[in-house]
């Protein structure tokens, strides 16, 4: 018996962690953009393009490391001085940032990746002071075709925009 949808999500996630199944994200099963097996996966049950796939051995992840160099200088000892090398360690500094912006157009087949790649990590993992999200949709009809203003889909979009406090324009 399945208690609820959350139980299904948790069960699939656990099966992926236990390497019983793999999970893929993409438009088609043979065109996956990302695959998981043996790791935690966070996904929305309603999102399209999730696939349960056979388990697989994940490719090793190359860790991001800081480059450290060591320089040894040997000075000529003065009379009565013990010869000790001067060791200097230099660490390549990382660049610090205070803001990230992401702008551009996203194709429809990659739209589901926006939440996973940007919104979810920013809201959940980055401890941000501010996260401002915006949208800018333009929907043009096919040449010569027009939409009826009373179309239920148009009405639903208009109502949703009003509910979310968004501007909704029709031409």
Predicted confidence at residue 21, as pLDDT, reads 93
E-only strand ranges, the chain = 22-28, 31-36, 50-53, 68-73, 86-91
In this prediction, residue 83 carries a pLDDT of 53
Contact 23, 11 (CB under 8 A): no
pLDDT number for residue 69: 42
* 38 CA to centre of own chain: 18
Query: At CB < 8 A and 24+ separation, what contacts does 115-120 make?
Result: 115/44, 115/47, 116/25, 116/42, 116/43, 120/42
d(CA 116, CA 122): 10
**In this predicted structure, what is the pLDDT of residue 117?**
81
Domain ranges in the chain are 5-53, 135-171
**Closest by alpha carbon to 41, among 24, 20, 65, 66?**
24
* C-alpha span between 69 and 60 (Å, rounded): 26
Name residues whose C-beta falls within 8 Å of residue 138's C-beta, 6 or more positions apart in sequence. Answer: none
CA distance 149 to 106: 26
Provide φ and ψ at 24, rounded to 5°: -125, 150
Residues near 53 by beta carbon (within 8 Å), at least 6 away in sequence: 21, 22, 23, 24, 29, 32, 35
pLDDT (tens place) for every residue of the chain, 171 residues total: 677 887 888 888 889 999 999 988 887 777 788 888 888 887 766 777 888 898 888 666 544 444 444 444 445 555 555 555 555 556 677 888 888 888 888 877 777 778 878 888 887 778 888 888 888 888 888 888 888 888 888 888 888 888 888 888 888
Q: How many CA atoms lie within 13 A of 84 on its CB side?
A: 6
Separation between Cα atoms, residue 31 and residue 4, nearest integer Å: 30
């Amino acid at each position: 018996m399945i208690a609820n949808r959350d139980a299904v999500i948790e069960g699939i996630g656990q099966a992926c962690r236990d390497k019983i199944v793999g999970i893929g994200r993409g438009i088609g099963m043979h065109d996956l953009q990302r695959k998981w097996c043996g790791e935690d996966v966070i996904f929305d049950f309603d999102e399209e393009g999730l696939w349960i796939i056979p388990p697989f051995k994940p490719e090793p992840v190359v860790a991001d490391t800081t480059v450290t160099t060591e320089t040894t200088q040997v000075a000529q000892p003065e009379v009565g001085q013990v010869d000790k090398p001067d060791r200097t360690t230099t660490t390549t500094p990382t660049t610090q940032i205070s803001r990230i912006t992401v702008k551009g157009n996203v194709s429809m087949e990659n739209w589901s990746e926006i939440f996973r790649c940007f919104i979810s990590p920013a809201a959940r993992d980055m401890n941000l002071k501010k996260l401002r999200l915006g949208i800018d949709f333009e929907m043009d009809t096919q040449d010569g075709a027009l939409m009826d203003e009373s179309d239920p889909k148009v009405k639903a979009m208009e109502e949703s925009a009003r509910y979310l406090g968004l501007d909704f324009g029709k031409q």
